[in-house]
Structure 1
Amino acid sequence: MKTYLAATALGLTFAAGGAWMLTRPGDAPLGATSIPGAAMAQDAAGDAPAAEVDTSSIVDMVQGSEDAPVEMIEYASFTCPHCADFSENQYQQLKTDYIDTGLVRFTMREVYFDRFGLWASMVARCGGEMRFFGIAEELYASQRDWIAGGQDPAAIAENLRTIGVQSGLDGEAVDACLSDGDQAATLVAWFQENAAADEVNSTPTLIIDGEKYSNMAYDDLADIIDARLEEAGVEPPAR
């Protein structure tokens, strides 16, 4: 499905094949909550087309050497269980074998299926580039716990705030990040631009040297990276 939805029409549904797909839900719109400390995205983003929002302030979250011979982008949602599994398994091995060794430059780009994934992203980004990946790992590791509030926005917002504070962020800073409607609108527009450009409609989606792949086992992923390294005249690591 190649449908890119407005900020107020993002939703979540499970699809066959182990992916979470973009869909149009019948429940509450993104950001439609009045609780203190939660991202007020609806007023900020709901009425403005993504093309009218300046997204230049949003930076990619990147790990690895600038000179790495292979570039990889992961499109992921913090509310996607397959992304949590990728973070716990493939990503950890990828980081050890390829990112930390200077062979792969890795970028994570967030996908927003729902308001809760957006709020999680805002907490992760609240720590800046230095803390983003550490907070992201914690969000994935405790995904079942912080989502346990179901559809109660207040409970989920408080759970996310707790993760931010436990990760070393100041509580007032987390509250400010979660309440930043302009940032929420900009992030949603940024996500829509990226999804349209790379034709992303499920997570995790992987872009390796410009070629798109679906989620896969680590050995299969490593085989693709090794082939790219060999094309670049670089010897792959021993596995």
Structure 2
Amino acid sequence: MPLRPLFPSLIAALALTLTPAPGLAAPKGRAAPKGPTAPAAGPVLVVATPQGGHVLGRATAPVKVVEYVSYTCPHCAAFEKEGSDTILMMMVRPGRVSFEYRPLLRNIVDVAATLLVNCGTPSRFQGNHAAVMLNQAKWMVQPSEAQMARWRTGDLPSRLRIVAADMHLYPLLEARGYARADLDRCLANEALIKTISAENEAATKAGVNGTPSFLINGQLQDAHDWATLRPLLEAAIR
């Protein structure tokens, strides 16, 4: 089952703490579909959206996919490992699909991770997203009671800096060329938190109740992993 996000009223109560996800077996991957050879590697168009997300691919793509994603969701990390390469190479690059990542904030660690991934120009997003998501098993550990107490003290930017340090998120982005001062400025972007929180509330009212969740051409799908989403995508692009 998908995990229910840990809001509403995120802005009013960012004393949220990391809730361990129940362990579910990740779905087994499938062989890559037969079809045209994937285009040569190269930059993919990435555009920031008014909802606080990022779209990969062409605006003219006939199939438009949205993933509601949480950086503390193990199922989201499994989806990234199992499906992202096929989606990018076989669907996005040929212009069949555009793929939008919309963050869904479940806790204060999600807030810190999302702000760091969004740091910089849209062209930086894809690499930032992969760095945080594909290394989730390394940095997402259960915090101590003392750490969580620190996360509830002080102004929001200060608390997010403590979260980023405690969860070892800084090194992931510093390895991508960011200076600590730039990352701290991104962690102070409360306007982006409000934008994403408003989108999250709207998504919940529309039936999105966990991560990962997917829309295909505006329709919410009964799919929460790559094994289930893949045939739906393949049917949509036929």
Normalised to the residue count of structure 2, the TM-score between the two structures is 0.70
TM-superposed CA distance for 1:184, in Å, is: 2.7
Is 1:166 aligned to residue 159 of structure 2?
no
SS of 1:101 mapped into structure 2: coil
- Could you tell me which residue of structure 2 aligns to residue 210 of structure 1? 218
Q: Return the alpha-carbon distance in structure 2 between the equivalents of residues 187 and 140 of structure 1.
A: 18
Is 1:79 aligned to residue 82 of structure 2?
no
Q: How does 1:26-37 map to 2 (within 5 A)?
A: none
For the aligned residue pairs, the C-alpha RMSD in angstroms reads 2.8
Identity percentage over the alignment? 23
**Cα-to-partner distance string for 1:34-78 (whole Å, 9 max, x where unaligned):** xxxxxxxxxxxxxxxxxxxxxx95543000111111010000100
Is 1:221 aligned to residue 229 of structure 2?
yes
- Could you tell me which residue of structure 2 aligns to residue 157 of structure 1? 164
**Contact 1:3 1:201 (C-alpha < 8 Å) held by counterparts:** no
**Contact 1:146 1:156 (C-alpha < 8 Å) held by counterparts:** no
- Could you tell me which residue of structure 1 aligns to residue 101 of structure 2? 108
**Contact 1:2 1:199 (C-alpha < 8 Å) held by counterparts:** no
**Cα-to-partner distance string for 1:66-111 (whole Å, 9 max, x where unaligned):** 1111010000100000000101111221111101111101000001
Change in Cα spacing, 1:175 to 1:92, as seen in structure 2 (3 Å) is same
**Cα-to-partner distance string for 1:165-217 (whole Å, 9 max, x where unaligned):** 11222221101111333433333223223333x32111110111122222134
Unaligned runs of 5+ in 2: 27-48, 152-160
SS of 2:204 mapped into structure 1: helix
- Could you tell me which residue of structure 1 aligns to residue 195 of structure 2? 186
Q: Which moved more, 1:144-153 or 1:90-99?
A: 144-153
Is 1:176 aligned to residue 185 of structure 2?
yes
Q: Return the alpha-carbon distance in structure 2 between the equivalents of residues 132 and 155 of structure 1.
A: 23
Q: Return the alpha-carbon distance in structure 2 between the equivalents of residues 122 and 178 of structure 1.
A: 6
**Contact 1:4 1:195 (C-alpha < 8 Å) held by counterparts:** no
TM-superposed CA distance for 1:17, in Å, is: 7.2
Change in Cα spacing, 1:16 to 1:164, as seen in structure 2 (3 Å) is closer
Normalised to the residue count of structure 1, the TM-score between the two structures is 0.70
**Contact 1:147 1:156 (C-alpha < 8 Å) held by counterparts:** no
Letter aligned with residue 83 of structure 1:
C
Q: How many equivalent pairs are there? A: 192
Change in Cα spacing, 1:156 to 1:59, as seen in structure 2 (3 Å) is closer
Letter aligned with residue 171 of structure 1:
R
SS of 2:100 mapped into structure 1: strand
